Chain A
Amino acid sequence: MKKKKVNIAVTGLNATDNPGPGVPVIRALHDSEFFDVRIIGLSYESLEPGIYMHDLVDKTYQIPYPSAGKESLLQRLEYINGIEKIDVLIPNFDAELYSFMKLENELKYMGIHTFLPTFDQFEERHKINLSEFGKKYKIKVPFAKAINSIHEIYSLTPEFTYPVVVKGKYYDAYIAYNPEQVLTHFNKIASKWGTPIIIQQFIYGSEYNVIALGDGKGNTIGAVPMRKQFITDKGKAWAGIAIDEKELLKMTTRLIKNTKWRGGMELELMKTQENEYYLLEINPRIPAWVYLAVGAGQNLPEALVKLALGIEVEPYTTFNVGKMFIRYSYDLIVDLSEFEQISTYGEL
């Protein structure tokens, strides 16, 4: 079969110890039997490792930070699209999704396809709304409260028992064992991502994640549950294993059916001693460990590109249980001239 040529723009090239999903998404797309891909990297900073991985990324352009507003982003994308003729764009950061969702129609007009959650889906699953979300879809979630001011910290008990998890609106989560620690984390997170700050009851147990892809009509195109086997001090999985857990798959397909989820997602769950799953978070995008799903037989980024282009996709129903991923770091050797190129011209 002759592969279909497509130009795909991908963000999240920060393959660091708190990795963005861009590089694994790109690896998955290169593995595709169906597509022959040219990858356009979109970066925010000059030191995102993906920029320098020339065997994976054909060309990279800097784009403005989301805080610069969607107009500047659109202008930059118009420029890039004028050169690259992008077919599909896959954003991979939580903090940038809002801007790309707002630009969905403008992008489509430019011939750039996306496959993103709707605003309702995006808002409903937001950390701040998780309690409501749990009630609505009958999923257990840890007790949580959004606070806006440090004055609320000392009145968290008796509603909460320590330890609690202190979370930012977009990123960052820290465990706090007393009000003083909550205060420290509150200030640190608030200065970066603003308020409110979410206080969540800490749940003891082991961490499970599910990666899934919804077609926007209620069907699950693929889903793979994973248990974290090794966790870094940033709470990120450094190793994990694909597991056969029917309950998690049932929960995922039910959730996608009821929400008519559109696009990639990651469920973060905690399993207690009593074998109960608590949903901690829903990330409205493909997670950084997506390549485990590919290794286990479900090329979800490829399926997402097909959905974006309106190509029919046969849902994945199985995967290889017991496949593992073990992350490693790798030192790229880069010439200063390349760094200069991306820093001064915004292209490499």
Chain B
Amino acid sequence: MQFAWSYKTNYLNAVCNIFHQEGSWAEVVSGFEYDKAIDNGVAGSKIIFNGPNKSEEDLKKAIKNDSLIHIDHLEELYSLIFLAEELKKRPKVAIRVNMDTGIYPMWDRFGFNYENGQAWDALNKIMISKKLDLVGLHCHIGTFMLSPNAYAIAAFKLTDLAINIEKKYSHYIKYIDLGGGFASKNTLKGSFLPGIDTNPSIDEYAEVISSALINSALNPEHLPTLILESGRALIDDAGYLLGSVIANKRLSAGKRATILDFGVNLLFTSFWYEHKITPAQEFTHYSEDTVLYGPLCMNIDVIRENINLPLLNKGDQVVAHCVGAYNVTQWMQFITLRPKIVLIDLDEKVHIIKDNETNQTMVSLEKLPEHLKKIDLK
């Protein structure tokens, strides 16, 4: 069993290195993320390179470093065969397989389909080419999966491919990578019950996956390593966003509205989660239904459409929970600057792991044409 830290979930170096220190490999989906992993000191052979957009330069680097390249489409497969000849090196590859696991929506845009035989065709092309070293099989069946059983179906379909490869080519697959998609304790919008009550625990996923693999027809002498690319399930619940109340107002229909100093610019995930928001100081037990707005001068800047909160005053502080995943990678520099991030270690020591943005950080890449340098508004 091997974890690979999903960089896109949260690629602050301090966070990546927490997981690398714990033994996690790196899972990256772009040249930018790949270089970040290398800079963090991850050995090339411990980087899994996923995604539909790997440039030729990216692929060359990955081949030279013995990284695990997960092929997304045929164009990439042919490029790899070509580059293998050019570099005189056998790239280590896996294919990404998409499949029906009974989950809606079915993710069929990445990789090769299992049911219609695309995946099996691609595997044959790899084996027959003899140019590529087929080391693994990969899938990533969806995001925020609330039904653990889908992983059992995925495990079954990947092992089926592994067994057929073994039968036809006497070649043993070294690993099966079931990707990620495990739910955190957040509540998806539109859910009737809170996520903390209903979302499957890690134990439930583990139980389903391990029994599916143990009960499969895989040769126990050559059991492949199980790789998981968990990101959100490991970091979401560890992240908090601290903010304060800017103002309160009444909307035309009498509903209470509270404006906070963070909005969708910082809390991108509020587009799909109903984040838990709690006051950070003593409060009364009298509460009121409130809409929580962010500070942007944009109508879409809504953190919670409706939340029952004690009455907050200007300057009161609030905490948004479960924000560790997909925010510090997707947040936007829009209208205002982004705040610093701190890490609290096991001894409760506080470390700044990213500083406040300044105007200088934002304009440092800008260039002003000569004729626009002078303005006269004195």
Contact = CB atoms under 8 A, between A and B. Distances in A.
Interface of A: 66-71, 95, 98-99, 102, 146, 148, 169-170, 190, 193-196
A69 B197 contact: yes
A70 B197 contact: yes
A190 B194 CA distance: 17
7 contacts: A69-B193, A69-B194, A95-B192, A98-B193, A99-B193, A148-B105, A196-B104
Q: Which of the listed residues A66, A69, A146, A196 has the most CB atoms from chain B within 10 Å of its own CB?
A: A69
A190 B198 CA distance: 19
B196 A69 contact: yes
Contacts of A67: 192-194
Interface string B100-115: 0000110000000000
Contacts of A69: 193-194, 196-197
In the complex, which of the residues B104, B193, B194, B198 has the most CB atoms of chain A within 10 Å of its own CB atom? B193
Contact of A193 (B105, B192, B196): B192
Given A99-B197, A190-B190, 16 more contacts: A66-B192, A66-B193, A67-B192, A69-B194, A69-B196, A69-B197, A70-B197, A71-B196, A95-B192, A98-B197, A98-B198, A146-B104, A148-B104, A148-B105, A194-B192, A196-B104
B191 interface: yes
A98 B192 CA distance: 11
Contacts of A66: 192-193
B281 to A, nearest CB: 21
A99 B193 CA distance: 9
A123 to B, nearest CB: 10
Contacts of A170: 192
A13 B198 CA distance: 26
Given A69-B196, A69-B197, A194 B104 contact: no
- By secondary structure, the A interface counts as helix
Contacts of A194: 190-192
A73 to B, nearest CB: 9
Contacts of B192: 66-67, 95, 169-170, 193-194
Contacts of A102: 197
Contacts of A146: 104
Interface in B153-204: 190-194, 196-198
Contact of A195 (B190, B193, B194): B190
B227 to A, nearest CB: 29
B208 to A, nearest CB: 13
The 10 closest A-B pairs by CB, nearest first: A69-B194, A194-B190, A70-B197, A148-B104, A194-B192, A69-B197, A66-B193, A193-B192, A67-B192, A194-B191
Contacts of B197: 69-70, 98-99, 102
With most chain B CB atoms within 10 A of its CB, the pick from A66, A67, A99, A193 is A67
A169 B198 CA distance: 15
B152 to A, nearest CB: 15
A148 to B, nearest CB: 5
B175 to A, nearest CB: 32
A264 B193 CA distance: 23
B322 to A, nearest CB: 14
Of A99, A169, A190, chain B has the most CB atoms within 10 Å of the CB of A99
B289 to A, nearest CB: 13
Nearest to B149: A123
A43 B198 CA distance: 23
A193 B105 CA distance: 19
Contacts of A70: 197
Nearest to B104: A148
A170 B193 CA distance: 12
A195 to B, nearest CB: 7
Contacts of B190: 190, 194-195
A68 B193 CA distance: 7
A282 B104 CA distance: 24
A195 B105 CA distance: 12
Nearest to B190: A194
Contacts of A68: 194
Most buried by A among B192, B194, B196, B198: B192
A281 B371 CA distance: 74
A63 to B, nearest CB: 15
Contacts of A190: 190
Contacts of A98: 193, 197-198
Contacts of B193: 66-67, 69, 98-99
Contacts of B194: 67-69
Contacts of A193: 192
Nearest to B308: A68
Contacts of B105: 148
Contacts of A169: 192
Contacts of A196: 104
B104 to A, nearest CB: 5
A265 to B, nearest CB: 22
B187 to A, nearest CB: 9
A70 B199 CA distance: 13
Nearest to A99: B197
Interface in B317-355: none
Most A C-beta atoms less than 10 A away, residue of B105, B196, B197: B197
Nearest to A192: B192
A298 B78 CA distance: 73
Nearest to B274: A67
A67 B198 CA distance: 11
Contacts of A195: 190
Nearest to B276: A69
B321 to A, nearest CB: 13
Nearest to A168: B192
Nearest to A95: B192
Nearest to B105: A148
B203 to A, nearest CB: 14
A98 B196 CA distance: 13
Nearest to A152: B104
B10 to A, nearest CB: 26
A121 to B, nearest CB: 16
A290 B191 CA distance: 31
Q: Tell which of A66, A146, A169 has the most Cβ of chain B within 10 Å.
A: A66
A77 B197 CA distance: 17
B211 to A, nearest CB: 15
A67 B189 CA distance: 12
Nearest to A69: B194
